[in-house]
Each structure stands twice: as structure tokens, then as C-alpha cells.
Amino acid sequence: MAEDLAVGTRVEHPKYGEGIISRVHLTSYDIIFIHGGEIQFSKSTLDLEVLERPEGASASGNSIDIEQVREIIDYALEKHAMNSEIVDLGEKWIGGSLDIKPSNPDLQAKEIPVEVFFHKIVMLRDRLRVLEQNINSHKSLNDEEKVHLQQYITRAYGSLTTFNLLFKDKEDYFKGAGKG
């Protein structure tokens, strides 16, 4: 890549998809990808395509602040339906903990706040939804292949119905193949 790019620049990578430059270093960029987290790339990387430059941003990256980067990331996530919805934990679980005790008394038990565990369950559900969207919109999969892969996701949802007791609202529940 011959040019310097600014913080907030939207880029496309052939493997990781769409991303936004979050930090500019002397020889590299930190890029937050919609589907892959944050990855650092050398400035000499030739496989980044510039999709959109932030208005008024200079190559030094000093014209855009972190709040503007957050707004850009929120916009990109919302555009691709990846912003997590607010899902409430059932009130009886608030402040509770999950105690995991090994059968061997010499090993230490682990206590996890229910809120932390619940957040991970909701993130898992959101990632399954993104996977589902990616399968449905995949260009090279035929309908039969999409249905085949969808069945695995449906079974995964079914396996997660155990955790429905944590949700405050029934509309947030996991639903397997047998439920509407």
C-alpha cells in the first residue's frame, strides 16, 4: 500500500472482510474487523482496499478522535445487524454466582458471577445469529448446502435451551427445531 491511511478509514481485506482502522503506528495499522476482531497489519500490506475515508482526516490520523471511531464502528456494526440487542437477565439471578467445583478436593473451585456467564451466553447467541446470516447470504453455497449448515445451527440453539432459565423475557429464549 503506497499511501498512509487515517484512523476511521473503512477498508476491505479479502480474508477478514470489512474493517475500520482504529490506530495508526509508525509501520502498521490496527484494524477492527466486523467479523474478526482487531488485527494489526503492516503498512506495506497490499491487500487492503480503501472503502471510505473519514471526512477531514489526515494521514497522521490526528483529525479524528476515539469517540468518532466508536461512532464509525457502531454505524458499521448496526449496518450489518451485529450490534447486540439489550437482553435482560432474570431478576432472581442478579447478584448471583455460578460455583464450579471439581470432583478432586485438592483442586480449586471457580466462582463466576451469573451476569458474566449470562453475557457470554448472549454473545454466543449473537455469534450464532451472525453465522446464520453469513450462511444465508453466502454466494457460493447452494440452497441444499445452506439448509444442511442451518440444521447444525438449529441443533446448537436446541442444546442451549437449558440456559433459557437465565433470561427475563421469553422472547429472548433459545429455540430448537421443535419449537416455534
Q: Is the pLDDT of residue 129 over 70?
A: yes
What's the rounded mean pLDDT across residues 139-159? Answer: 90
HEC per residue, 58-102: CCCCCCCCHHHHHHHHHHHHHHCCCCCCCCCECHHHCCCEEEECC
What's the rounded mean pLDDT across residues 88-98? Answer: 91
Q: pLDDT tens digits for 104-124?
A: 999 999 999 999 898 888 888
Give me the residue spans of the domains in the chain: 10-79, 91-172
How much is the pLDDT for 137? 83
Query: How far apart, in whole angstroms, are the C-alpha atoms of residue 57 and residue 63?
Result: 5
How much is the pLDDT for 77? 65
Q: Is the pLDDT of residue 179 over 50?
A: no
pTM score, whole prediction: 0.51
Q: pLDDT tens digits for 49-80?
A: 889 888 765 555 445 566 767 777 766 666 55
Report the mean per-residue pLDDT for the chain.
Answer: 82
How much is the pLDDT for 81? 52
Q: Is the pLDDT of residue 176 over 80?
A: no
What's the rounded mean pLDDT across residues 81-85? Answer: 54
Query: How far apart, in whole angstroms, are the C-alpha atoms of residue 29 and residue 42?
Result: 6
- Percentage of the residues of the chain whose pLDDT score is greater than 70: 80
How much is the pLDDT for 61? 46
